[in-house]
Structure 1
Amino acid sequence: MSKRKYESGASKRKRKMQEETFIDKQKGSFLKYLTTNKNVDNEQEEINVANEPEQANVDNNIEQINIEIHNEQTNNLSTTPIEVKEYFLGFLVVENTTGKGLYDAIVDEIKNIGLDINDVRGQGYDNGSNMKGKLQGVRKRLLDINPRAFYTHCGYHSLNLVICDMANSCEKASEFFGVIQCIYSIFASPTQRWKILQDNISNLTLKSLSQTRWESRVESVKAIRFQAPQLRKALLQLSKKCGDPKIKSEAKCLATYELENYEFLLGMIIWYDVLIAINTVSKSLQSNDMCIDDAIDQLNGLLCFFEEYRENGFEKALDYAKELALEMNVKPEFREKRIIQRNRRYDENVHLL
């Protein structure tokens, strides 16, 4: 009986159902730490207008900032709930990225659209010193002319910087994400290589790592986390079919020394758990109806999740890694680094005690 070349529809549906069940289970294990209360009294909201600029690089050669305006709308404060509206004004090209240069650009734009700078009741930026600086930043300059423009740091950017610094401080983490990017890059071009990938993987597509939104890297890890056996098969096929010796070597090394490495599989599972938890909170912090109380609850819940994961999550990750390793016929053992012993030469002096 000939072996199927492609996976059957029933097998695909079964695998997809297993993946969705696992993802829901992982999210559920994290969401139980959140005590979010969405029924917040509208009368507690004090900020009427919020001006939120943040730096954005749409073009690598042009420095730009995007400006958003938040305002509260209500007809009758006593009977009608306050409704918060968000408006994206657009991107501004700036040549001077100092605190003064960005402040002048923002103030000029506010005046151009007919708004009064004295009506601003809130401001929120990323954690750049030119934006939030207490002495020369945009925050300080705006407060000097309008003390009622209450400053709140951007929780999403702070969370993004925390995970970025956490990953960059660990050599193993840097190597792990380097491998993730190499796997994507080797299939990205030309189209013949991407075709080999598509022939083996039909569910989740490989994605390049984001350099600015770290929490979104969960999508890059997810594609490999749930398709590691198929991805290894694709890499081995690429090593046999590709005519470029360099690509052949890289593909075989990625399949043999990375995807067949138990330590890499364990790190992949741990990073997926961490990133999916952070991504859940990050998306929530960016929602239109998010308030300060809910944001604090979300971040506290994230801290509780990490504390619990430190105590019990590692053991669960080991179990998942062992299951995946056995599925891929990989020994669930950490590779030991061989100690190199130098032979002693005949003319070397040996000092005996």
Structure 2
Amino acid sequence: MRRPAAFVLVGAVLLAAACSADEPVPERTVRVGWEAATLPVPAGDPGRAAPRDAVLCGGTWYVAGAVIAPDGAPRPAVWRSADAAAWAEVPLAPLTYYGRQNILYTIGCRDGRVAAVGAKSGGVHGNPRIATWYQRDDGSLVEVQAQFTLYGGENAVGVSRLAGGPAGWLISGNRVGGAAAWISADATEFTLVEFGQRLGVPNTSATDGIPGGAGWFVVGGVLARTGIGRDAAAWTSADGREWTAVPFPAEEGDDALLRVVQVNGGLLAVGVRGDSFGVWRERGGTWSATDRFGATRGNIAAGVGGVAALGDTLLVATEAEAGRGLWAGDGTGWHHATIPRNVPAGGDAALTVVGAGGITLLVLDDGRSGGVWRASGVK
């Protein structure tokens, strides 16, 4: 019988002396009873599982990532499971040289089918070669062949997260001109919309998007009015082509939204607020800045790997100079949450948390080995 995971609050943290006066200090640690599951290495050359993202789609869990060979060479991989405990490989059909080396870093769902985005650095300048993948009727994923300039080229900045919704598919990201979206009806072909340069606001950036009503809601940042740092920003669109800015509270310091989720009848965003991570909540169409936790300052750009809402508990996977970690907000404050092993910052590692269907799934890769851990229920 599977032992139910539990979140147990224990007094344990002695970090006050190490924190600055304006940094929120966690007073407790949330101990999570994570249950490990094995991701089998797909048929082919030997290697280790390197998962990056997960989604619940049509009652089936999917994990996307790669298999890393002993010499460091990657090849794309996707796993599926009915219960997030027993996993099997999903057949893939790469079509290009770089597609056969993709690390799939984001996966989304629409109408019971998944699609994914992957990348592999290459070429003279070592730029990421982006590829998208869609699911066929037989359950396999096939690479979409696309021109290099669709995601790369001289105007490239970054390609972020993929989402599916009533309006189709959307990938958020950035070009030299600012925030951008790639949209598609069926994930078999994407169209680039560089909407940031149309808004008349300099230096916009988009980091994440989710379905919003019948269209889309995208979050990110914009150059602050002072010209120093960023202001949190968001935009909505019915079709992914025409975008409208959402009123957002402006604060002093560097503020930017990195991830957004739907929770408890409203939207919730997590990002950077000054030297800490911050939470913004939407109620009745109005956004407000609420909690702060952790520390973001350092030589590594702070990141948010995932957000999972389970009842009144919010789990957030973060990245900062000290490494990657998991935080839990339970209404009494923000606390460190335990993870199976330490995960460093940087591109060779990953930490993501996803919650859906009453299950919390932790996706972890410390650069040496990767896997998934399942937790059901909160105490």
TM-score by length of 2: 0.27
- Higher-Rg structure is 1
- Greater strand proportion: 2
TM-score when scaled to structure 1? 0.29
